[in-house]
Amino acid sequence: MSQDYDAIIIGAGSVGVPTAYFLAKEGMKVLVIEKNASAGQGENKAAIGGVRATHSDPAKIKICQESLKIFSTWKENTGTDIGWKEGGYCFPIYREQDAAMMQAILPIQKRHELNIDWIGDDELAKVVPGINRNGLLGGTYSPEDGQVSPLMAIESFTHEARKLGVEFKFREGVQELAMEGNAVTGVKTNKGEYSAPAVLNAAGAKGTQICKMAGLNIPIVPDSHEAGITSPVKRFLDPLVVDIRPGPEGKTKNFYFGQVESGQIIFCYTPIDPIIGEDKRATSEFMPILARRLVDLIPRMKGLTIRRLWRGLYPMTPDGVPIVGKCKVDGFYLCIGMCGQGFMMGPGIGANLANLIVKDKPIMKQSTWDFMRLDRSFKTDDVERLA
Ligand SMILES: Cc1cc2nc3c(=O)[nH]c(=O)nc-3n(C[C@H](O)[C@H](O)[C@H](O)COP(=O)(O)OP(=O)(O)OC[C@H]3O[C@@H](n4cnc5c(N)ncnc54)[C@H](O)[C@@H]3O)c2cc1C
């Protein structure tokens, strides 16, 4: 079979498009196949755009440090605004057990030279103006984390990738993988067949279906999350705020929100009972719950107008860490199970994957990269499942 491309990427989403961009920068001839009409129409457009390197898993830390570098310099390097705002992340803490959990992670984060610290309640009240101080113990604050617009970012990455020669085929779905022995050699879609020695599964919530085509069973379960955005108000809030307490109504776990560059408050939550499946119909069920949590936490939020609600999927792995890298099928690369952090990891993973595909090694240390390998133990880690 003749070789049409150096690499084929299945899925023009949070990780597929940046990976295409970095592969093309390495001189590869790249094809991206997307079943929707344009890039970012899967889960990318559902993300609220939080980007932080302050995780506890070493691979996620390294990847997001790389992503932060790319996002924060994108305008300088390409001339295009993607809504980057360096406002940090803040976890206000009201319960002793949460303080102990967050403080236990700090030494790991500091070992990775992350700019994060525990701050007292007075300082926290300056970082989050108007926060309810009743019972506030303090919290963690990482000023170098930030926010980006997922819609503006995917548009710009697609544009820059095209400039480097990446070909996009939209409204075309991959239906089968072409195999020769134990190697993937290309893809078959509803419109044609394309060959390449490297095929990347970046199909997001549909990643397990693509894996099945190569005989791989992958432990990923999509669950559904709702988010919303208000009308814009005068800028008053720098960080993205994560409240990790369960809601008093007994239905919600952590909820998180921030003020985007253009002034709107954007917010999201994790339900206590996961909404498993692919149903993305938005409901207004959570709106009164979140409105109350928001106003209880920052009373000055009262009076905001909610403009739009939506629902999207977290493709969840059992331990909250994605599955990325090579697998036992030659030429088949995985980049799936991005959970609730695929947008922030996209560029960092893309840069590393491009290196792996072209030079057979990621940019980061192999041992760190291997935290994301498919054949790991998948021990559940609740901290990694946070926003
Ligand atoms: C409410 C909400 C808020 C979130 N907030 C954040 C946040 O603040 N920060 C963050 O980092 N993450 C956030 N996320 C998570 C983030 O959106 C996802 O982790 C991320 O978008 C997944 O990226 P992906 O590239 O794996 O999938 P996607 O972006 O969904 O891309 C996969 C693409 O593959 C395509 N595809 C699938 N099957 C095929 C096929 N057979 N042929 C061709 N194309 C195919 C799909 O159409 C899709 O476009 C949030 C998610 C939700 C739902």
pLDDT digits (tens, 9 = 90+) for 303-312: 999 999 999 9
pLDDT of 220 over the 60 cut: yes
- Cβ of 344 closer than 6 Å to ligand 1, yes or no, is yes
pLDDT in tens, 75-121: 999 999 999 999 999 999 999 999 999 999 999 999 999 999 999 99
340 touches 225 (CB < 8 A): yes
- Domain ranges for the chain, please list them: 7-78+150-220+319-385, 89-144+221-316
Task: State the pairing for strand pair 198-201/332-336.
Answer: parallel
CA dist 142 and 29 (Å) reads: 39
CA dist 360 and 326 (Å) reads: 10
- Cβ of 34 closer than 6 Å to ligand 1, yes or no, is yes
159: CA distance to ligand 1 center in Å?
Answer: 19
47: CA distance to ligand 1 center in Å?
Answer: 8
42: CA distance to ligand 1 center in Å?
Answer: 5
DSSP 95-108: SHHHHHHHHHHHHH
Please give the model's pTM, rounded to 2 decimal places: 0.95
Residue with tokens 């952090």: 341
In this prediction, residue 377 has a pLDDT band, given cuts at 50, 70 and 90, of confident
Taking residue 367's Cβ as centre, other Cβ atoms within 10 Å add up to 9
At 382 the pLDDT is 52
360: CA distance to ligand 1 center in Å?
Answer: 26
- Cβ of 266 closer than 6 Å to ligand 1, yes or no, is no
In this prediction, residue 383 has a pLDDT band, given cuts at 50, 70 and 90, of low
30: CA distance to ligand 1 center in Å?
Answer: 20
Considering the domain delimited by 89-144+221-316, tell me its CATH architecture.
2-Layer Sandwich (3.30)
The residue whose CA has the least distance to atom 16 of ligand 1 is 342
Average of per-residue pLDDT across 35-60: 96
CA atoms 86, 384, 316, 23: torsion sign: positive
Average of per-residue pLDDT across 249-254: 88
46: CA distance to ligand 1 center in Å?
Answer: 8
Structure tokens at 35: 């079943």
pLDDT in tens, 139-148: 999 999 999 9
pLDDT of 360 over the 60 cut: yes
- Cβ of 271 closer than 6 Å to ligand 1, yes or no, is no
pLDDT of 384 over the 70 cut: no
pLDDT of 1 over the 60 cut: no
Say which CATH class 7-78+150-220+319-385 falls into: alpha beta
pLDDT in tens, 332-345: 999 999 999 999 99
Distances (CA, A) of 296 to 4, 253, 266, 289, 300: 57, 15, 17, 11, 9
Which H or E run includes 353? Answer: helix 342-359
- Cβ of 222 closer than 6 Å to ligand 1, yes or no, is no
> Which of the listed residues 15, 31, 44, 190 should we mutate to test ligand 1's pocket, taking the one with most ligand atoms within 8 A of CB?
44
